[in-house]
Amino acid sequence: MIKKILIANRGEIACRVIRTAKRLGIATVAVYSDADAQALHVRQADEAVHIGGNASADSYLRIDNILDAIKQTGADAVHPGFGFLSENSKFAQALDDAGIVFIGPGIRAMEVMGDKIESKKLADSAGVNTVPGHPDAMENADEAYEVAKKIGCPVMLKASAGGGGKGMRVAASLEDVKDGFIAAQNEARNAFGDDRVFVEKFIEQPRHIEIQLIADTHGNSVYLGERECSIQRRHQKVIEEAPSSFISEATRKAMGEQAVALGAAVDYKSAGTVEFIVDAQENFYFLEMNTRLQVEHPVTECITGYDLVELMIRVAEGQKLPMQQSDVSINGWSFEARVYAEDADRGFLPSTGRVTHYSPPTTLVNDNGAYTRVDTGIDAGGEISMFYDPMIAKLVTWAPTREEAIEHMQTAIDAYRIRGVQSNLPFLSALFAHPALKAGDLTTRFIEDHFPDGFNSAEYEGEAFEALPLVAAWIEWRSRLRDRNVADVPAVTTSSVMAAVGHSQAQIREGADTDTIEESLFVFEGDNQLEIELNVLVGMESDWEPGEWLFRGNLDGVDITVGVERIGNWWRLSQGGSVRDFLVVDPHVAAVMHHMPVKESQDLSKYLLSPMPGLLMKVLVNEGDKVTAGQDLAVIEAMKMENTLTASVDGTVSKVAASVGDSLAVDAVIIEFE
């Protein structure tokens, strides 16, 4: 039996493994880099060992350092989580040589399935449906061009050792193939140290659906239903759900049986995922097999009731699976939303820094049984570093029906408070409110098709958008009552509103301020203004108190949850994907205002600034070059992804202020224009 597990990972997945291990009475060891010295997973584990510098290559990818940590702590098993060394057969072999249990599959399965080219060949021989394409990696861009010409565009250029959307490009036409091949090759080399790229047919109107597999060392293998992961951005999953609302029971069974057959072909043991691409007619084709625990595994746990981490540990101990295929059933519906530290309003650029406030939604079960689960590796005071993936947490909901699970997710997102870094919460809210998502009309191009111009929370109109000025007036008025020590505080009720309206002067406690509370308030947003009479507020009920981050109220019988932040004299309210700043003033103040005050801003059109911390990989122009709006100017690598910066206006380059290889801070000047 395993007595002590070292988790060769960080962040939320390390915390996730620790949670199950503690429930099973197994001791845990965390490892950490310089950047993660105070991280949550370090504090939650029974022991923690420093393994190197900030960069992954100096810490979490150092097999020798992790082996030293195992020796120091006497750990008898290692759980690799996902990413880093989780699918590295050399790491698994080193553990085997040292007599340490690897909580994962066998080495052969990792080697074969870790290579997209070899895995596709094996899948084909095992009777698994495969996408048309060339079986071998391309020697160069010219060869990729010829293969694409033969297959027919669009084609997918995909790194053999890739994962997480890295090293992948879609070439819509032959003109895109060569540049796409070079970009995929460079990204794959930087991310995986392996620049092999192959070409396959790109399936149009595709859905990404995967099968969760679990197998033991006694020849037992079952599939635990499917997950739909179609909503992606840059091939990185954003929202996952289980089960899929699209496929039939017959398709689910066929996909599951093919996944089991593929696992048997490599004598697979432990948890793994077989990913398929599915077209509009439910034809499905093998994409890849991930020989590890998936990021989105919680939705499978929610609908099946099985703890996948526990099953992995039991299998690694040599135990038989506690179920057969006939025991597996699907109960209810579950969604997972990946909460990232990124600014959706600025093209989803990564946001780094210290998390100053962190308040996840409650996990309490509702009357219908719906509940919320938050898997995270961050708490207040934690840091989002430029060295690692920007995911803050996985927000998961379960409910008896798909509709209820979506509604519960929308409420949970509105209740999630993160400050200090930007997050994609407003965008997630907009996604779950979209009619196409609610209808289950999904493809892997969902975001590109429905948000072609990106996302701007200051312009997006959520379902309760029109109620936000009323909320702004209510909380301003509520704050004034508290500031003035009004007698009927603490509770703001219908009677207190009417009392304020019915008297020329509020009833003030002895010795308090005696300012007049006027009978209406003006709410400014930009150049828009709205007068709200206080008696209108009688339809809203809430126990919100000044200083609270979350407003929960009822407006004319409709529940509403709104994020609240005080910024100077403004109220910043967020709800359903909308984020708005409101200024609330008395009528005599509004009478002398013609519009909302706007701060002066510096003209930055003459500069190309770095929108994120990162490494300058390429500068594509020289001094004196004329550029046009939309032209590529530079490439920055941040959080293991290449980001191309383009010109916003026409101009002439007057100075290249940064050099390739420079580490750039946010808003560092790269190029100046005349």
Domain positions in the chain are 4-103, 132-201, 465-590, 607-673
pLDDT band at 525 (very low <50, low <70, confident <90, very high): confident
Which tokens is 179 given? 């540049």
Give the residue-averaged pLDDT of 620-628: 91
**Average pLDDT across the chain, whole number:** 88
Query: In the structure, what pLDDT confidence band is assigned to residue 605 with cuts at 50, 70 and 90?
Result: low
Sign of CA dihedral 602, 606, 610, 611: positive
How far, in Å, CA of 100 to CA of 468, rounded? 57
Q: Which residue did the predictor score with more confidence, 168 or 310?
A: 310
Extract the tokens encoding 93. Answer: 């072999």
More confident: 363 or 276: 276
Cβ atoms of 6 and 78 within 8 Å: the answer is yes
pLDDT digits (tens, 9 = 90+) for 82-116: 999 999 999 999 999 999 999 999 999 999 998 87
CATH class of 4-103: alpha beta
Query: What is the C-alpha to C-alpha distance for residues 266 and 213, in angstroms, rounded to an integer?
Result: 13
Distance CA 171, CA 181 (A): 9
Q: Which residues on adjacent β-strands are paired with residue 533?
A: 520
**With contact defined as beta carbons under 8 Å apart, do 202 and 271 qualify?**
no
The domain made up of 132-201 has a fold known as: Dna Ligase; domain 1 (3.30.1490)
pLDDT (tens digit per residue) in 554-570? 887 888 889 999 888 89
At 368 the pLDDT is 84
Domain formed by 607-673, architecture? Beta Barrel (2.40)
Q: How far apart are CA 628 and CA 648, in angstroms?
A: 8
Tell me the catalytic residues: 288
What are the angstrom distances between the C-alpha of 170 and each of 107, 148, 561?
A: 31, 11, 40
pLDDT band, very low/low/confident/very high, at 641 (cuts 50, 70, 90): low
Task: Compute CA distances 412 → 337, 359, 399, 495, whole Å.
Answer: 10, 11, 13, 31
**What is the percent of the chain where pLDDT is above 70?**
91
Rounded distance, CA 269 to CA 612, Å? 41
CA–CA separation, 169 and 176 (whole Å): 9
484 falls in which pLDDT band (50, 70, 90)?
Answer: low
CATH of 465-590, one of 3.40.50.300, 3.30.2130.10, 1.20.200.10, 3.30.700.30: 3.30.700.30
Query: What is the number of other CB atoms lying within 10 angstroms of the CB of residue 264?
Result: 13
CA 547 to chain CA centroid, nearest Å:
28
CB 255 within 8 A of CB 226: yes
367-377 pLDDT, tens per residue?
789 999 999 99
Distance CA 606, CA 583 (A): 32
At 611 the pLDDT is 77
pLDDT tens track for 381-438: 998 988 888 899 999 999 999 999 999 999 999 899 999 999 999 999 999 999 999 9
